[in-house]
Amino acid sequence: MMEDLNLPFWIYLCIITVLVGGLLKKILASHVSATPTLVAWLGATVLVERLWSFWLPAVLLLALLGLACCLYSAATTPPSALPAQGKAVLITGCDSGFGKAAAKRLDALGFEVFATVLDPTGEGARELQRSCSASLTLLQVDITQPQQVQQALLDTKARLGHKGLWGLVNNAGVCVNFGDVELSLMSTFRGCMEVNFFGTLTVTKCFLPLLRQAKGRLITISSPAGDQPFPCLAAYGASKAALNLFINTLRHELEPWGIQVSTILPSSYKTGHSSNHGYWEQQHKQLLQSLPPALLEDYGEDYVVETKELFHSYARQANPDLSPVIDTIVQALLSPQPQARYFAGPGVGLMYFINTYCPFSISNRFLQKLFVKKKLMPRALRKQSGFDLSLHNNNNNNNNITKEDQQKLPHM
């Protein structure tokens, strides 16, 4: 039978093999859970079975391929991590959350840590001073203030001397909005962009000369909201989308300089104001006071309240253990070959897998069910729906009466 196969078939077969192999490689490198990986393997089995049913059993082929991968993995020794001693790292946003935890971990590993904080007298700064070594340096920096960023650069240079900066961890960020785009204030959009994008841009541009000097690492904590349209997170997501594109562009531009650029995409964690009930209440009160009366009437105060409560519930269910993100930061700093993108925490890899490989209708439904599961419609739509339902019932009643009357009419 193999003699009957012509040259175009073999060319087509080689192309399909390369595509399937590349797809599997991408899936297996995406840190997804076992279930979608198994689905991918089964899908590849079906595809190969269709193409090679008359040549080689696909199950046997995949078994041989899997065995070869296992043997290769066993024979390949992963490169050892780089030493932390003698390396300097600057981390932004260390008052709480990922920044504070990363500063403590990197200091314990032997890094020379420069930790920026908004409030040098706050609890977060005091905790870092109590728990970290004398080599950790606190810098008071609001990343939206270029003069403060420039002063932090001068202070860092004075401390480092002729040594460059091995790592810059862009962690500082804010998520201040909760609500539909139409209900979100313009100040909210500007605030998110000012911190998450322009602030990070300012810090990165200022410290790039030190990174180039050390051929170091640029690591940015971003969010899946920058790649996927989470409902009620438009302001935050838009700022992170701008940040992601900026970092991806830098990855290409800094490659000739020997700088490795990585983006970390965490799942849901309890950081910053996420579990602060008073903060969300204040945001909610400010929103109600700022909305035009006609707009609030169309959506309904109960609709806004439900959104706030859903955010509270989502924040309460967030993971308090930040170690997956901190471990990823360490890996990106010390791995001889860091990845361009890391998924930190459960569910992120699966979410990106569905968004990448599934039809839009499936990925869109998954996203809607994953985050804010609203039950209320805006008030105006509820009124319209009730009116339509009432009108529909009246029409049905009229139709029934007409049929009954028609039955009483004499037959002609």
pLDDT digits (tens, 9 = 90+) for 180-220: 999 998 999 999 999 999 999 999 999 999 999 999 999 99
pLDDT at 154: 97
Beta bridge partners of 221: 264
Where do the structural domains in the chain lie, given as residue ranges? 2-75, 88-370
Average pLDDT of span 30-50: 55
pLDDT greater at residue 106 or residue 389? 106
What span, in angstroms and rounded, lies between the C-alpha atoms of 248 and 340?
9
- Annotation says 269 is catalytic: no
- pLDDT, averaged across the chain: 82
E-state strands within 222-336: 260-266
**Which pLDDT score, from 0 to 100, does residue 193 have?**
96
Q: What is the pLDDT of residue 349?
A: 85
pLDDT tens sequence across 352-374: 888 888 888 888 887 777 776 78
Phi-psi region of 97 (alpha: psi -120 to 50; beta: other; left: phi over 0): left
Q: What angle do CA 299, 310, 240 make, to 5 degrees?
A: 90
Q: What is the pTM of this model?
A: 0.77
CATH-assigned architecture of domain 88-370:
3-Layer(aba) Sandwich (3.40)
Predicted local confidence at residue 408, as pLDDT: 43
Q: Do 312 and 372 touch, CB atoms closer than 8 A?
A: no
Angle at 331 between CA 325 and CA 333, to 5 degrees: 105
Q: DSSP letters along 75-127, please? A: HSPPPPPPP-TT-EEEES--SSHHHHHHHHHHHHHT-EEEEEES-TTSHHHHH
pLDDT at 61: 58
Looking up tokens 């932390």 gives 84
pLDDT tens digits, residue range 292-304? 999 999 999 999 8
Half-sphere CA count of 116, side-chain side, radius 13 A: 27
pLDDT of residue 273: 63
Active-site residue identified among 12, 72, 236, 303 = 236
CB 303 within 8 A of CB 378: yes
Q: Which of 196, 254, 213, 221 is nearest to 332 (CA)?
A: 221
pLDDT at 91: 98
Which of 127, 222, 117, 213 has its CA nearest to residue 175? 222
| Comparison of pLDDT for 347 and 110, the residue scoring more | 110
Average pLDDT over residues 16-38: 55
Q: How many whole angstroms separate alpha carbon 111 and alpha carbon 109?
A: 6
DSSP codes of every residue in 84-98: -TT-EEEES--SSHH
Quickly state the pLDDT bin for 391 (edges 50, 70, 90): very low
Q: Residue range 121-127: average pLDDT?
A: 95
Query: What torsion do the CA atoms of 242, 248, 252, 253 make, to the nearest 10 degrees?
Result: 40
Residue 393: per-residue pLDDT: 54
| Residue whose C-alpha is closest to residue 189's, from 203, 201, 177, 202 | 177
Residue showing tokens 């900066």: 165
Closest CA to 217 of 254, 269, 259: 259
What percent of the chain lies above the pLDDT cut of 90?
Answer: 49
CA pair distance 256, 236, nearest whole angstrom = 32
Kindly indicate the confidence band of residue 394, based on its pLDDT and cuts at 50, 70 and 90: low
d(CA 378, CA 385): 11
